[in-house]
Amino acid sequence: MDLDLFYPERGESAGPARQVCARCAVRQPCLEYALSNRITYGIWGGLTERERRPLQSDWVQAARRDRDRAILAADAAGYTTAAIGRSFGLSPISVVRIVRAGNEDARPEPDRFAVQAFCHDDGESECAP
């Protein structure tokens, strides 16, 4: 098989490569490889670079969510920010930001009635109405 089939020149049809991809047993892993390695040229998993571009954005967001969950789990397990940063290739500041954002996202909304129970009606309270 001619591999040039998967690298059509500008204006050439991607149809022949798509036909091969449609019968391929590793179509999905091929697409995932192209997305994870940010390959921008050629037909991968039956898709052109233009068709993969929106998926790339979704893939990156999903990968970051997974990474952030792992960072939050490591933080909850008691690992230091320096150790977490080394493991994920991040600065300690980046780890702190991710942990803060994760903790804010996980924080439940305050119960207004429980907060009001601690507030006084004498006008001198710092509680919000």
Handedness of CA 75, 77, 81, 86 (dihedral sign): negative
- Asked whether residue 88 falls in the same domain as residue 31, the answer is no
Token pair 């780890």 is at which residue? 95
User: Cα torsion at 6, 10, 12, 15 (round to 10°)?
Assistant: 50
What pLDDT digit, counting tens, does each position of 76-121 carry? 999 999 999 999 888 899 899 899 988 776 554 544 544 444 444 4
State the pLDDT at residue 70: 93
What pLDDT digit, counting tens, does each position of 6-49 carry? 999 988 999 999 999 999 989 988 988 898 888 889 999 999 99
β-bridge mates for residue 100, sequence order: none
- Asked whether residue 33 falls in the same domain as residue 76, the answer is no
CA–CA gap between residue 116 and residue 39 (Å, rounded): 56
State the pLDDT at residue 105: 66
- Asked whether residue 76 falls in the same domain as residue 100, the answer is yes
- Asked whether residue 72 falls in the same domain as residue 32, the answer is no
Encoded amino acid at 73, one letter: A
- Asked whether residue 35 falls in the same domain as residue 98, the answer is no
14 close to 43: Cβ distance less than 8 angstroms: yes
Which domain range does residue 90 map to?
62-129
- Asked whether residue 67 falls in the same domain as residue 124, the answer is yes
Q: What are phi and psi of 47, to 5 degrees?
A: -120, 145
**For the chain, what is the domain count?**
2
Within-domain flag for 101 = yes
Within-domain flag for 114 = yes
State the pLDDT at residue 61: 82
CA–CA gap between residue 10 and residue 58 (Å, rounded): 26
